[in-house]
Amino acid sequence: MNSICYIYGAMDPGIVQFKKNAGDFIIAADGGYAYLQNANIVPDLVVGDFDSLGAPPQREKVICFPPEKDYTDLDLAIREGKKRGYQTFCIYGALGGRLDHTIANIQLLAALAQEGGRGYLLGGGQAVTVLAEGALHFAPRSKGYFSAFAFGAPASGVYEQGLKYTLTDAQLDVLFPLGVSNEFCGMKASISVREGKLLLIWDQDMEQFDPRLLEL
């Protein structure tokens, strides 16, 4: 896996612990800068229109945009990460709050998946991603619920292994939530899709999240 671009939005993501490896990059999207300040985390870049923060921070490496724009602050942050060659994004502080913003953020995950990248929305004890024609793997320590939904169109060749309920070469339809409320059960688990996209949502301990382990 390539290095990770960490992005922080304006919502409180709760307890966050991660190890920034060499080559990783941290971006604050508007109000996310205030969270990073409180957590004593120094971002490599700050972007946004700063309607949440109130004013651009007085520091180097700030990109300021007008509030009347087509792109959300999170979209702008992802675009800046992509310009720097990043394909994997861990995004904190972008779940909860306004439902329309959450839906917009999920659409950004789908766009990343369409381009061969991967984004994870993290917060409130949950993780969200969009999987396109690939697989994710979960350690036996994973606990709680796991849900998979067809995104945009039917998804075929869906396999769920090591979960309470298994699927083998199944098709998930956008009008029937067959994949909701599965459960981890103390085993190595995996999900894969041969064709189409899956929106995945699962319970996740924020102190143990490492996308490098999911994509082995």
**How is the chain split into domains, by residue range?**
4-124, 135-202
**Arithmetic mean of pLDDT, 138-147:** 95
For the chain, give the mean pLDDT: 88
DSSP string computed for 189-213:
EEEE-SBSEEEEEEE--TTS--HHH
pLDDT digits (tens, 9 = 90+) for 14-26: 666 677 788 999 9
Residue 111 pLDDT exceeds 60: yes
- Which option is the CATH number for 4-124: 3.40.50.10240, 3.40.50.2020, 3.50.50.60, 3.40.718.10? 3.40.50.10240
Q: What is the pLDDT of residue 96?
A: 78
* 89 within 8 A of 81, measured Cβ to Cβ: yes
Residue 33 pLDDT exceeds 90: no
Domain 135-202 has CATH 2.60.120.320: yes
